[in-house]
Structure 1
Amino acid sequence: MNLIDLIDYLGTFAFAISGIRLSAAKRFDWFGAYIVGLVTAIGGGTTRDVLLGVSPFWMHQPSYLIVTGIALVVVILFSKHLVKLENPFFIFDTIGLGLFVVVGIERTLDAHFPFWVAIVMGMITGSIGSVIRDMLINETPLIFRKDIYALACVAGGVVFMICSYLGVPSGMTQLFSALSVIAIRLLAVKFHIGVPVLKDTFDEER
């Protein structure tokens, strides 16, 4: 297993945990929670692979379904401990976001697409799973709120590109990119930084 595969599995686990925890808050049953966790974990990567014209990654091996199952077991067995963490959904969602941006960029570059496409695919890999998750649980997707979410993915992609052009070793580039996404998301929430809301001036004029 190479580094990018390890990052992919860690991201899958983190995103699956976030989806399953949110399902628990909505009082889904075990199977429903598993489905939401799985969709959260593979939704972005599946969208990326379809756009890149390749078979979705999870169809080549069952490990991603197994990792999601492990995440479900962890939530079931250690739910009381997870609840004690400060906002566990946010923590795991943010970690998964940073890791998946790196995976999306690497997979796109491996397919010989230019860097600007890789940055877009990094954003898609990181954020689309959460969009599908939120739709399934009847919530407004985070990407459409004023939270810094997709923009953090883009920033991580830019950091990846800069490090690559500067000749930074691959492992360090991946680390810096993931950490930048996580740091931007954490700082944005801590200091209440968000994207301005688009106001409906039509209603005001009426």
Structure 2
Amino acid sequence: MTFPFDIALVWLDLVGVFFFAVSGSLLAARKQFDIVGSLLLASLVSLGGGVIRDIILGATPPAAFSNPAYLVPPLLATFLVYFLFSSVERFTSLLVLFDAGGLALFCITGTLKALSFGVNPVAAVLLGVTTAVGGGLLRDITANEVPQLFNSRDLYAVPAFSGAALTTVLWVTGAFNAVTACVVAALVFAFRVVAWRRSWHIPLAVNGWHRAGVDSGESRGRD
């Protein structure tokens, strides 16, 4: 890996950490956690996926523990939500938007780091997805929420798979650069948000099963 690539990867990672951290703090606020609980949930969602990725790659200690810069976004997100949440709490889609931003960036950075470590393309895609959805899974379980990853009425992992696969193809073909990275991130973000807004979903685990309330015509409200 070249030095400029390392720097770009860290900055993309940090932006993704901030987006996910805000989503964690917003959920903590809506659950009426105290500020310490907000910080812990923000840290868990924003750093959890990267820690899992680094441990699998053998990049120890994980970046979240070896680089103090990774501790700044959760702190910043916690205090921003603490001071601003009262004025934005009516926007129920805000958490999803920040979560989608983190998902879009982490599926790229997770895949890139795996590829830079010499992992084969298929495994790199899987690690990219793990990085993207791992933190959100930990956040939802900790906050006693149904994990978005297992929500049959929504798409969460599929946008991450798409972004990781596109990143891998661009890397292998030599077409990956700052412009294409932005395009991939924008596509994943838009895919995730539109899927959420329109309640897109994929078939259930067993053919013939139906989603209660969705296939019968009941629609979920979106703010």
Note if contact 2:13-2:106 (Cα within 8 Å) is conserved in structure 1: yes
The reply on whether 1:14 has 2:22 as its aligned counterpart is no
Gaps of 5+ in 1: 202-206
The correspondence for 2:114, drawn from 108, 121, 127, is 108
Residues 5-57 of structure 1: CA deviation (Å, up to 9, x unaligned) = 22111111100000010011110000011000000001111111111122111
The reply on whether 1:45 has 2:50 as its aligned counterpart is yes
Note if contact 1:21-1:89 (Cα within 8 Å) is conserved in structure 2: yes
Hey, what does 1:182 align to over in structure 2? Answer: 189
Hey, what does 1:191 align to over in structure 2? Answer: 198
The correspondence for 2:96, drawn from 90, 111, 123, is 90
CA distance in 2, matches of 1:191, 1:71: 28
C-alpha displacement at 1:95, in angstroms? 0.4
Note if contact 2:162-2:188 (Cα within 8 Å) is conserved in structure 1: yes
Q: What is the percent sequence identity of the aligned residues?
A: 28
The correspondence for 1:58, drawn from 58, 64, 69, is 64
C-alpha displacement at 1:79, in angstroms? 1.2
54 and 164 in structure 1: CA distance in 2 versus 1, 3 angstrom threshold: closer
* Structure whose residues are more often helix by fraction: 1
Answer with 156-165 or 6-15: which moved more. 156-165
After superposition, where does 1:34-183 map in structure 2 within 5 Å?
A: 34-55=39-60, 56-85=62-91, 87-146=93-152, 147-183=154-190
CA distance in 1, matches of 2:192, 2:20: 15
CA distance in 2, matches of 1:27, 1:193: 30
CA distance in 2, matches of 1:199, 1:172: 41
200 and 167 in structure 1: CA distance in 2 versus 1, 3 angstrom threshold: closer
CA distance in 1, matches of 2:127, 2:83: 35
Hey, what does 1:5 align to over in structure 2? Answer: 10
Specify the code of the residue in structure 1 equivalent to 2:98: F
C-alpha displacement at 1:190, in angstroms? 2.4
Runs of 4+ in 1 over 4 A off after TM superposition: none
169 and 120 in structure 1: CA distance in 2 versus 1, 3 angstrom threshold: closer
60 and 6 in structure 1: CA distance in 2 versus 1, 3 angstrom threshold: same
Gaps of 5+ in 2: 209-223
Answer with 16-25 or 143-152: which moved more. 143-152
With normalisation by structure 1, the TM-score equals 0.90
With normalisation by structure 2, the TM-score equals 0.84
Residues 49-106 of structure 1: CA deviation (Å, up to 9, x unaligned) = 1111221111112221222101111111111343254511011000010011111011
C-alpha displacement at 1:158, in angstroms? 1.7
Specify the code of the residue in structure 1 equivalent to 2:105: L
